[in-house]
């Protein structure tokens, strides 16, 4: 990997004092608003400031975010560290990760970790596998370092692409709602910022970001959406299409969050979770009658929640429909493969099943070969 294509300069030594670049100022305001910090006024250092981590690949978006976050660390209100995840998907990825880590340390971030991950595809594509491995690494780092917040550099353009991908896949409200500014420990302050603005921030701060060659590889659907579909829609429907798609995600996000809250309450009410390992339960049992009484939107979400609780991925609509057909005792007895090694099948009523057995009249979800039973 050419050294000149790697971030390597210290943003704190780049520009003489003077007028703040307006895009940098805008980005600081976004980060400050999400973290409850101010960009103006007297510095107010706090004793034992909380640690905020930045998930950084070295690309323009996450590098700009790291540089902006470093400003708040310099004020003493928070500590800012970073995690660089090496997915090992390209030759030279270890060098890219180490160069990125060096740049982040020069920006003043501490601690900075490089985490190398192995991708487990589990029947999903490379992008989904990389995403799962990346979040697993970030989760572990946050727990070990005691960070309550992890900042991610997704932009308004990423949000628009996610909405289009959700439409193309026939996804529901959850997918079309895209990414949330805040969910759990993860925060995305740049969802209102264009990708061109993160490049402008890097230029203003004299940073040299790494440009991932995968971002121009037309083999990836997201790349084709970025370079072919969105420009076409912009030409045909007007230049505001990216903002409109992102705005739709915000509106749908409120609906999805409300439905998720209702579904979580129903899951907590009806689910029986059997202990397993320290990390994952052994199984989840959902009473058949209680599931049938739920509205379709909640039923789907409760089924999906059970799969995720067992360590699987968010199931597709088609797989949820197949599981629901088992619930309705339609078609094949299975198995139906869910996502992430969770599968589903039905035990026929012609088989001898004890009426008072713990699984009778319930959907029993398990991870592995013996997975989802409908007694």
Residue 8 falls inside a structural domain: yes
Handedness of CA 160, 162, 168, 173 (dihedral sign): negative
348 assigned to a ligand binding site: no
**Predicted local confidence at residue 8, as pLDDT:** 44
Q: In the 8-state DSSP scheme, what is residue 20?
A: P
Residues 283 and 350 in one domain: yes
Task: Summarize pLDDT for 213-270 with one digit per residue, the tens.
Answer: 989 999 889 999 999 999 999 999 998 999 999 999 999 999 988 999 999 999 999 9
Residues 331 and 218 in one domain: no
**Predicted local confidence at residue 81, as pLDDT:** 98
Residues 297 and 222 in one domain: no
Per-block mean pLDDT, blocks of 10 residues, the chain (375 long): 45 56 96 90 80 97 98 93 93 94 97 91 74 93 96 97 87 84 95 97 96 91 94 94 94 91 96 81 84 91 90 80 76 68 62 47 68 51
Residues 241 and 293 in one domain: no
Residues 202 and 275 in one domain: no
Residue 138 falls inside a structural domain: yes
CATH number for the domain that contains residue 231? 3.40.50.620
171 assigned to a ligand binding site: no
| Element at 26 (helix H, strand E) | helix 22-35
Residue 167 falls inside a structural domain: yes
Boundary (domain end) residue, out of 213, 248, 283: 248
Q: Which residues pair with 342 in a beta bridge?
A: 367
| Residue 52 belongs to domain spanning | 3-248
Q: CA-CA distance, 364 to 144, in Å (whole number)?
A: 33
Residue 262 falls inside a structural domain: no
Residue 222 falls inside a structural domain: yes
Tell me what percent of the chain is helix, strand and coil, each rounded to the nearest 5: 45, 15, 40
Residue 188 falls inside a structural domain: yes
21 assigned to a ligand binding site: no
Contact by Cβ (8 Å): 78, 49: yes
Residues 228 and 367 in one domain: no
59 assigned to a ligand binding site: yes
Residues 309 and 216 in one domain: no
Rounded to whole angstroms, what are the CA distances from 10 to 79, 104, 207? Answer: 18, 8, 7
Residues 237 and 200 in one domain: yes
Residues with Cβ within 8 Å of 277's Cβ and at least 6 positions away in sequence, in order, are: none
Residue 128 falls inside a structural domain: yes
Q: In the 8-state DSSP scheme, what is residue 316?
A: P
Q: CA-CA distance, 318 to 348, in Å (whole number)?
A: 22
Rounded to whole angstroms, what are the CA distances from 224 to 166, 195, 231, 243, 316? Answer: 14, 16, 10, 19, 22
**Predicted local confidence at residue 96, as pLDDT:** 95
pTM surpassing 0.95? Answer: no
58 assigned to a ligand binding site: yes
User: For the chain, how many structural domains are there in total?
Assistant: 2
Residues 224 and 304 in one domain: no
Residues 231 and 295 in one domain: no
41 assigned to a ligand binding site: no
Task: Summarize pLDDT for 271-299 with one digit per residue, the tens.
Answer: 988 887 777 887 888 888 898 899 998 99
Residue 202 falls inside a structural domain: yes
Residues 170 and 36 in one domain: yes
Give the burial class of 242: count Cβ atoms within 10 A of its Cβ; 0-12 exposed, 13-18 middle, 19 or more buried. buried
Residues 210 and 300 in one domain: no
């Amino acid at each position: 990997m050419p050294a000149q294509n790697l971030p390597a300069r210290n943003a704190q030594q780049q520009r003489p004092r003077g007028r703040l670049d307006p895009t940098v100022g805008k980005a600081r305001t976004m980060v400050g608003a999400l973290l409850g910090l101010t960009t103006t006024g007297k510095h107010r250092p706090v004793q034992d400031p909380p640690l905020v981590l930045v998930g950084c690949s070295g690309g323009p978006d996450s590098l700009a975010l790291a540089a902006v976050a470093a400003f708040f660390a310099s004020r003493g209100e928070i500590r800012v560290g970073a995690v660089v995840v090496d997915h090992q998907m390209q030759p030279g990825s270890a060098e890219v990760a180490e160069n990125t880590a060096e740049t982040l340390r020069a920006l003043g971030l501490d601690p900075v970790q490089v985490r190398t991950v192995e991708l487990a595809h589990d029947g999903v594509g490379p992008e989904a596998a990389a995403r799962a491995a990346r979040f697993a690494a970030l989760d572990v780092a946050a727990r070990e370092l005691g960070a309550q917040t992890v900042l991610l550099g997704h932009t308004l353009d990423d949000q628009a692409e996610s909405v289009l991908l959700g439409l193309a896949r026939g996804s529901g409200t959850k997918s079309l709602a895209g990414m949330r500014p805040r969910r759990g420990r993860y925060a995305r302050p740049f969802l209102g910022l264009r990708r061109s603005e993160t490049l402008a921030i890097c230029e203003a701060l004299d940073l040299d970001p790494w440009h991932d060659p995968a971002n121009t590889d037309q083999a990836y659907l997201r790349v084709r959406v970025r370079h072919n579909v969105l420009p076409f829609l912009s030409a045909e429907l007007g230049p505001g299409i990216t903002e409109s798609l992102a705005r739709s995600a915000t509106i749908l996000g409120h609906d999805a969050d409300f439905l998720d809250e209702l579904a979580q309450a129903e899951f907590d009410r009806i689910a029986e979770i059997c202990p397993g390992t320290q990390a994952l339960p052994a199984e989840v049992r959902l009473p058949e009658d209680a599931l049938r009484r739920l509205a379709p939107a909640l039923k789907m979400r409760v089924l999906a929640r059970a799969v995720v609780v067992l360590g699987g991925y968010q199931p597709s609509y088609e797989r949820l429909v197949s599981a629901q057909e088992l619930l309705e005792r339609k078609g094949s007895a299975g198995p139906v493969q869910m996502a992430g090694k969770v599968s589903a099948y039905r035990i026929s009523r012609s088989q001898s099943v004890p009426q008072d057995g713990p699984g009778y009249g319930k959907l029993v979800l398990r991870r592995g070969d013996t997975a989802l039973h409908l007694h």
